[in-house]
Amino acid sequence: MSKVLVTGGCGYIGSHTIISLIESGYEPISIDNLSNSYEESLERVFQITGKKVKNHRIDLCDAPSLHTVFDQYDDIQGIIHFAALKAVGESVEKPLLYFRNNLNSLLNVMDQANRKGIDHVIFSSSCTVYGQATDLPVTEETEMKEAESPYGRTKQLSEYILKDLSEIWGINALSLRYFNPAGAHPSGLLGEAPRVAALNLVPVITETAAGKRDTCVVFGDDYDTRDGSCIRDYIHVMDLADAHTKALTYLLQNKHSSNYEVFNLGIGQGVTVLESIQAFERVTGQKLKYEIGPRRPGDVVAIYSNYDKAKKHLGWMPRFGIDDIMKSAWQWELNRDF
Ligand code: UD1
Pocket test for ligand 1, best of 159, 180, 226, 326 (most atoms within 8 A of CB): 180
Predicted structure pTM score: 0.98
Asked if residue 80 lies in contact with residue 244, where contact means CB atoms within 8 angstroms, the answer is yes
Cα 201 to ligand 1 centroid, rounded to whole Å? 6
**pLDDT tier, 1 (very low <50, low <70, confident <90, very high otherwise):** confident
Domains and CATH numbers, the chain: 3-185+234-267+306-319 (3.40.50.720)
Whole-number pLDDT of residue 146: 95
Residue 281 has pLDDT above 90, yes or no: yes
Residue 291 has pLDDT above 90, yes or no: yes
Whole-number pLDDT of residue 298: 81
Residue 151 annotated to the active site: yes
Pocket test for ligand 1, best of 142, 145, 273, 289 (most atoms within 8 A of CB): 273
Which range has the worst mean pLDDT, 113-117, 272-276, 294-298, 326-330?
A: 294-298
Whole-number pLDDT of residue 247: 98
Mean pLDDT calculated for residue range 46-70: 98
Cα 37 to ligand 1 centroid, rounded to whole Å? 20
Residue 35 has pLDDT above 90, yes or no: yes
Whole-number pLDDT of residue 297: 85
Cα 120 to ligand 1 centroid, rounded to whole Å? 30
Q: Whose CA is nearest to atom 13 of ligand 1?
A: 88
For residues 298 and 102, the model is more confident at 102
Cα 34 to ligand 1 centroid, rounded to whole Å? 23
Asked if residue 152 lies in contact with residue 102, where contact means CB atoms within 8 angstroms, the answer is no
Taking Cα atoms as reference points, which of 238, 235, 210 lies closest to residue 337? 210
Residue 320 has pLDDT above 90, yes or no: yes
Whole-number pLDDT of residue 22: 98
Whole-number pLDDT of residue 333: 98
Q: Whose CA is nearest to atom 35 of ligand 1?
A: 200
Taking Cα atoms as reference points, which of 103, 288, 89, 107 lies closest to residue 202? 288
34 burial level (CB within 10 Å; 0-12, 13-18, 19+): middle
- Give the tens place of pLDDT for each residue, 185-201: 999 999 999 999 889 99
Contacts 24+ apart (CB under 8 A), 92-96: 92/149, 92/150, 92/297, 92/298, 95/150
**pLDDT tier, 286 (very low <50, low <70, confident <90, very high otherwise):** very high
Mean pLDDT calculated for residue range 289-295: 98
Of residues 12, 26, 98, 151, which has the active-site annotation? 151
On average, the pLDDT of the chain sits at 97
Whole-number pLDDT of residue 198: 87
Residues with CB under 6 A from ligand 1: 86, 88, 126-128, 148, 152, 180, 199-201, 204, 216-219, 230, 232, 273, 296, 299-300, 303
- What letter would DSSP give residue 9? T
Mean pLDDT calculated for residue range 125-144: 96
**pLDDT tier, 42 (very low <50, low <70, confident <90, very high otherwise):** very high
Distance CA 304, CA 291 (A): 25
- H or E, element range at 216: strand 216-219
- H or E, element range at 218: strand 216-219
- Give the tens place of pLDDT for each residue, 75-125: 999 999 999 999 999 999 999 999 999 999 999 999 999 999 999 999 999
Torsion angle defined by CA atoms of residues 334, 35, 103 and 9, in that order, rounded to the nearest 10 degrees: -60
Residue 324 has pLDDT above 90, yes or no: yes
